[in-house]
Amino acid sequence: MNNRFIFAVSLIFLGLLQGMAQRKEILLNDNWQFNLTGYSTMVEKMRVDLPHTWNAQDALTGDVGYHRGIGNYEKTIKVPDDWKGRRIFLRFEGANTVTDVFVNGRHAGRHKGGYGAFNVEVTDYLDYGKDNDLLVRVNNGETLEVMPLSGDFNHYGGIYRDVHIVVTGKVGISMLDHGSCGVRLVQDSVSRDHADVRAMVSLSNGSEESVKATLRLRLSDGEKEVLVVEKPVILQAGCESLHELPFSLDEPRLWDGRNDPFRYKVETMLCRNGEVLDVVEQRLGLRFYDIDPDKGFFLNGKHLQLHGVCRHQDRAEVANALRRELHDEDAALMSEMGVNAVRLAHYPHSAYFYELMDSLGMVVWAEIPFVGPQGFVDIPEFKENGREQLVEMIRQHYNHPSICVWGLFNELDEAGNSPVPYLKELNDLAHAEDPTRLTTAASNIDGELNFVTDVMAWNRYDGWYGNMPADLGKWLDDRHSRYPGLCIAISEYGGGASIYHQQDSVVKSVPVSWWHPENWQTRYHIENWRELSARRFVWGSFVWNMFDFAAAHRREGDRPGINDKGLVTYDRKVKKDAFYFYKANWNKEEPVLYLADRRNTHRTLKKQTFMAFTNQPEAELIINGHSMGKVKADGLCTATWHDVELSPGENVVTVISGTGKKRLTDTYRCYLQD
């Protein structure tokens, strides 16, 4: 369907809504003209739809020279004449990295940072009742003025999240509060008996006269109204202002993680003479949490062992230009595995994904893209950009109950200009913006930077980059003994695996080689989880990574350009054996029985070890119809049969657990070479 027709129909529909609150939003994703050049008139354009990145081909082939420069997006929209007297904004959910917006040839705004949303007011740049030309120039070229400076991931260019045009009244809830919705719901005090909350609302008066109005908040549980509070406000002409609206709730229903991810609906309205001028709807998940240096993470007063993974926002074919159904798939895979905590690395992710985490009851670590090792430069522009990105992240995602910690850096180095003074500044800024949450960081060195944030975490790869898995436990015990007051987590642990690399014996991988056998990744995770799960003082641990992801400079595994430490392949089509190990350990709602090493179809050793992951009490192994005996699952939900003889040729391997309707089976075929 013609995009201009869709836009016109949307405008007709908007005309029917004149009697309602004045805010309107229209999605502008379809039918942009795009080219890759510094001068948009010199190269033939191609049609693209958003979300879009121009690096979906070159960066995903392992080309370290993938295009980092300017991409131009152009679109013509007809702006109705009756929009005069209103305020018009373009809202970008994400464009990487520096974005310049032009309307009818005039520069309307710039944003520096690839992972936060931003709004550009275009009210005074539009020709009403006429066609208007939009040009958005996005530059993902390297610059010392914008985070991140480095990172073991691709810096894709493009408008890779949704774009809207937003129409508001002259007076309303502000669209200029660092890309946020303008409403922050501050949980001053929450318990099972009582909750005190403050709505901090940014209001904007774009008119030439002061306005008397009423700020109203309505809290509801489904269709049931719980409370309404309001206060009179005076908005000065041409000004932005911040207003507080406190309210309390007895015996609140709590957001309780995966047990009960309940949220109230909050409608914040600005009214005048009985007319609703503007309304913003948000969700409120009331919860309280604590992290103890000896006992770990507590949610709503109860200890919760965090079963965590990390996630990058990219995947095969589309890179980081993810549509909603792709976010849905990622969240569903996490939920299936029994994940209850997610570190969204190494930058703010889509607001929609945080919404998914809220609804699924995940505990979230959100972080800014302050990524090392060469991640810091002591110049004013860089430091100001870091401050701005931190404020954007906190204000835009403030109301997500899933977020419990703000991450300030990943793997920085203290060599050269030390980042520590700047980290202290960021830590203070995070607390000023949000006094209700803790700060954290991910380190891989010793140094002063490990003692800046409220709680701390380390990236450890014992058994992958040197050492053996048991060394992780030794390191944790030593760290806890040396710093007993420090809250310690493992922000990354993992090992690579190709589903095409199979071997009979379990032999440790060489990380930088082209041989990443799947069974070593499985053994690595079994042994690392053995160490982590036995230490309650570890407040959280996060597998690196939930999914394989692209890093063009990588030269290892089964192909260039891929970091294969994921528990699921880059295209999300194959769950590796380690996925099912965690599913058996973490997912207690679904019966699990899974035979490992199923992709090792051609074998050379007559005597084999077979292993199954199950959350059932025991399992029985059957080879070619003959029972190899029943084995009880150990404390890591693993059943193992040693020295099992295979017959030459084809062998049918089956594992059984339970009886009757509760009977589970899994099977595969393998071949023993003569």
pLDDT in tens, 316-330: 999 999 999 999 999
pLDDT for res 660:
85
For 577, 578, 664, the CA distances from 597, given in Å and listed in that order, are 7, 10, 18
Find the CATH number of the domain harbouring 631.
Answer: 2.60.40.10
For 3, 50, 67, 160, 321, the CA distances from 29, given in Å and listed in that order, are 10, 5, 23, 10, 12
Spatial distance between the Cα atoms of 217 and 186, rounded to a whole number of angstroms: 14
Provide the Cα torsion 593, 597, 598, 604; round to 10°. Answer: -140
| Same domain flag for 260 and 209 | yes
| Same domain flag for 250 and 313 | no
| Same domain flag for 330 and 279 | no
Nearest Cα neighbor of 345 from 382, 309, 376, 386 is 309
Query: Using 50, 70 and 90 to split pLDDT, how confident is the model at 222?
Result: confident
Q: Which residues contact 517 (CB under 8 A, 6 or more apart)?
A: 497, 498, 501, 502, 503, 507, 509
Find the CATH number of the domain harbouring 114.
Answer: 2.60.120.260
Identify the domain boundary among 168, 202, 232: 168
417-446: b (≥16 Cβ within 10 Å) or e: ebbbebbeebbebbeebbeebbbbbbbbee
Q: Is the pLDDT of residue 244 over 60?
A: yes
pLDDT for res 252:
98
pLDDT in tens, 123-153: 999 999 999 999 999 999 999 999 999 999 9
| Same domain flag for 217 and 348 | no
For the chain, give the mean pLDDT: 95
Q: How many domains does the chain have?
A: 4
Provide the Cα torsion 302, 308, 313, 318; round to 10°. Answer: -120
Query: Using 50, 70 and 90 to split pLDDT, how confident is the model at 11?
Result: very low
Q: Is the pLDDT of residue 1 over 50?
A: no
Q: Is the pLDDT of residue 21 over 70?
A: no
| Same domain flag for 227 and 361 | no
pLDDT in tens, 583-592: 999 999 999 9
Identify the domain boundary among 249, 284, 319: 284
Q: Is the pLDDT of residue 565 over 70?
A: yes
Q: Is the pLDDT of residue 39 over 70?
A: no
pLDDT for res 16:
35
| Same domain flag for 243 and 386 | no
Please list the active-site residues: 411
Domain span at 191: 183-284
| Same domain flag for 55 and 130 | yes
194 φ, ψ to 5°?
-160, 150
Residue 492: CA count within 13 A, CB half-sphere:
22
Q: Is residue 585 part of a domain?
A: no
User: What single DSSP character describes residue 647?
Assistant: P
| Same domain flag for 214 and 155 | no
Does an H or E element contain 182, and which? none
| Same domain flag for 313 and 417 | yes
Residue 509: CA count within 13 A, CB half-sphere:
33
Q: Is residue 569 part of a domain?
A: no
Identify the domain boundary among 284, 307, 325: 284
Q: Is residue 592 part of a domain?
A: no
**What sign results for the dihedral spanned by CA atoms 651, 653, 659, 662?**
negative
Q: Is residue 152 part of a domain?
A: yes
| Same domain flag for 279 and 294 | no
What number of helices (H) and strands (E) belong to the chain? 8, 41
| Same domain flag for 195 and 278 | yes
| Same domain flag for 153 and 193 | no
Nearest Cα neighbor of 263 from 253, 273, 250 is 253
pLDDT in tens, 255-310: 999 999 999 999 999 999 989 999 999 999 999 999 999 999 999 999 999 999 99
Find the CATH number of the domain harbouring 404.
Answer: 3.20.20.80
Strand 211-221 relative to strand 264-272, pairing:
antiparallel
Across 539-548, average pLDDT: 98
